[in-house]
Amino acid sequence: MPTVYPAKCGITVRKKEGNRFQRAIYLDLRRYISPRSKIRGILFEWFRSTFNGSDARIDVRGWDIEARKFLKYLNNIFTGVKREIDRGSFNRIMKDEKFIRSALELAEKGRKATSPNPMVGAVVVKGDKILATGYHKKFGTPHAEVVALKTCGNKAKGATLYVNLEPCCHYGKTPPCTDLIIQSKIKRVVCSAIDPNPLVNCKGVGKLRKAGIKVEIGILEDEAKTLNEAYFKYITTNMPFVILRIKGTLNGMESSISTPASAIDTDAILWDLSIVNSPHLNPLPRGERKFGFTNNQIILTGTWNEISYCLKRLKAMVQRNIILAPVDDRKEVFESNREFKIWKIEKKKNGELALLPFLKRCGKEGIASLLIEGGSGILSSFLKQKLADKILFEITSDISGREELFGDLGINKMSEAIVLKNYEWKKTERSLLVSGYPAF
């Protein structure tokens, strides 16, 4: 039986002959299995729960027939040598991961400044030596690849460029990165993920390969996509990546949110005024303190009465433009609030809020990510209409509260329950934070 090493975009299988590993292959699961295949999900889940990054042998006990068949297929791939690599090539894969991780760390430095562009980092390497690094600092400024290549100048000839996203090949705020990569005579490019932007989407890779540059894709792809999850949603749907922020007690009641919303990286924050105007749930700072937002726009939703009451408190505190999103009509208030942008949220025939047109409006205005803080009504509407992309759920150690966290979600059976995938837990002094992605 071969020894299997898990990796984010595939698995590494090394066959032991005697006391030494004589042969090794790196398998990219996407090459052999459809992303929607049940087998792919079974293996990835099993690798995550069993290996945790450590070496282990495959134990097929408890596997279903489908998964056992794949294991047999995996062994056939191994013996048939679909992609056989020697020890040196195996070490190269480990080296690629190391420098891609560096690129991801660099990309993170651009958080809260690059939207609606992605966060990108670049590392130029020759041999084992890093010649230069760069990252996209701010929307409209030079891209990561350009910063890195201009830093190392002529030394880039024959080097390898590591980048967490496919280099662009079109003119936007800046010239194409692919042109400079070709001019710099880079020998090899390793990137984590293809850019889903229709103007790029494999075209950048194609242009580099046509110029004779070797390009490899898929190293730490999952990490790269998670880093730019808002960008991937926005650029493919023209709608923002929606995060629901929920705080509840042990008995399932609403609780006030203490951490400032500005601590979460989004382009805009939507506040449901049913909780903003509630003294025991209000997330806004009291007194004359400033909000301290840098990149966030503030969207206020509720009835015009709630909005009018809230505006009296906010005008002296908020230093940014406010967008009003009323859910009812009052023409005289429309006339008296021309200083604000007004995006009315319409209602469906059944009385529910029509959130999809609202999100499309946000997308048109360049909002790539949206944080929702609200009561049971607005939270339930986003969940019921399957428009939430991520949930941040903080569970306090209290048993208290006046209002239930959610309204009617239209779920009558456990089989219809909304399940969080790829969830994580984080323990704080008085609460437990659960973050994950709803599987609708």
Residue 255: how many CB atoms within 10 A of its CB?
21
**Residue 157 identity:** K
CA distance 388 to 382: 6
Under 8 Å between Cβ of 293 and 286: no
Residues linked to residue 420 through DSSP beta bridges, in sequence order: 438
Continuous H helices in 5-143: 29-32, 38-50, 65-80, 87-108
| CA quadruple 137, 139, 145, 147: dihedral sign | negative
Question: Which one of the listed residues 17, 108, 145, 394 is annotated catalytic?
Answer: 145
CA distance 189 to 267: 31
Residues linked to residue 5 through DSSP beta bridges, in sequence order: 12
Q: Is 288 a catalytic residue?
A: no
CA distance 183 to 325: 49
CA distance 358 to 354: 7
- Peptide bond preceding 283: is omega within 30 degrees of 0, i.e. cis? no
Residue 348: how many CB atoms within 10 A of its CB?
12
Q: Which residue shows structure tokens 């019921």?
A: 384
**Residue 204 identity:** G
Active site residues: 145
